[in-house]
């Protein structure tokens, strides 16, 4: 597989690119340590990753994180984490929605796949900066220890995220 690969573990992502006959961690993505998957909506432009977590220290209800964990959950068996300052809800079209505050002093509702698409877009920008073009396809490797049903839920929503970005995704299992 020659395509860029995004690896995900415990809410952190790394990017690996093919170089010199093997895959190497992208230094601009904090190399082997990666970046935390979080978004903050405390200002006009969303903040991502570490910038989001810094903003969430000041305004904890203005952002989202733990998206992969949430994607893994059955809509019929949601486990709320006490540390979350956003809420989970649903409507007739979406079995899971995240509700969070925004800089506009309103609350917003978004499905996890849409929020994950926002994060994947940032990965694609970093990849484009490195290789000079947006890839048409990416690999995604989920290292979290999910059972088969949880993994299927996560993969289906990540496919949906990639479809929103008009990019193909393949899942890499190790």
Q: Indicate the fold that domain 1-26+35-134+151-174 takes in CATH.
A: Nucleotidyltransferase; domain 5 (3.30.420)
The span from the CA of 89 to the CA of 31, in Å, is 35
pLDDT digits (tens, 9 = 90+) for 75-117: 999 999 999 999 999 999 999 999 999 999 899 999 999 999 9
Q: What is the mean pLDDT of residues 37-58?
A: 97
Tokens describing residue 167: 């990019």
Q: pLDDT at position 25, please?
A: 97
- When pLDDT is averaged across residues 123-130 and rounded to a whole number, the result is 97
Q: Pick the closest to residue 99 from 117, 80, 76, 121 (CA basis).
A: 80
The mean per-residue pLDDT over the stretch 4-28 comes to 95
User: Is 141's pLDDT higher than 90?
Assistant: yes
Contacts made by residues 90-99, CB under 8 angstroms, sequence distance 24+: 96/70, 98/64, 98/70
Q: Which has the higher per-residue pLDDT, 29 or 174?
A: 29
pLDDT at site 1: 52
Judge whether residue 168 has pLDDT over 70.
yes
Query: Once rounded to an integer, what is the mean pLDDT over residues 150-157?
Result: 97
**CA diameter of the chain:** 50
Residue 173, pLDDT score: 87
Q: How confident is the model at residue 174 (pLDDT cuts 50, 70, 90)?
A: confident
- 140 or 174, greater pLDDT: 140
| Full-model pTM | 0.95
If pLDDT is split at 50, 70 and 90, which confidence band does 2 have?
Answer: confident
């Amino acid at each position: 597989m020659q395509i860029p690969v995004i690896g995900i573990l415990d809410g952190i992502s790394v990017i690996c690119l093919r170089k010199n006959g093997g895959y190497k961690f992208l230094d601009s993505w904090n190399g082997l340590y990666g970046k935390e998957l979080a978004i903050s909506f405390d200002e006009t432009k969303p903040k991502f990753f570490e910038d989001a977590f810094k903003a969430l220290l000041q305004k904890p209800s203005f952002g989202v994180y733990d998206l992969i964990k949430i994607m893994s959950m059955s809509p019929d068996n949601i486990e709320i984490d006490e540390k979350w300052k956003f809420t989970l809800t649903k409507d007739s079209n979406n079995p899971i929605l995240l509700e969070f505050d925004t800089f506009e002093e309103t609350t917003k509702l978004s499905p996890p796949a849409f929020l994950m698409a926002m994060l994947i877009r940032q990965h694609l920008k970093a990849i484009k900066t490195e290789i000079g073009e947006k890839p048409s396809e990416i690999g995604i490797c989920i290292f979290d220890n999910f059972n088969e049903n949880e993994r299927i839920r996560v993969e289906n929503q990540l496919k949906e995220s990639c479809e929103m970005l008009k990019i193909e995704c393949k899942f890499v299992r190790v």
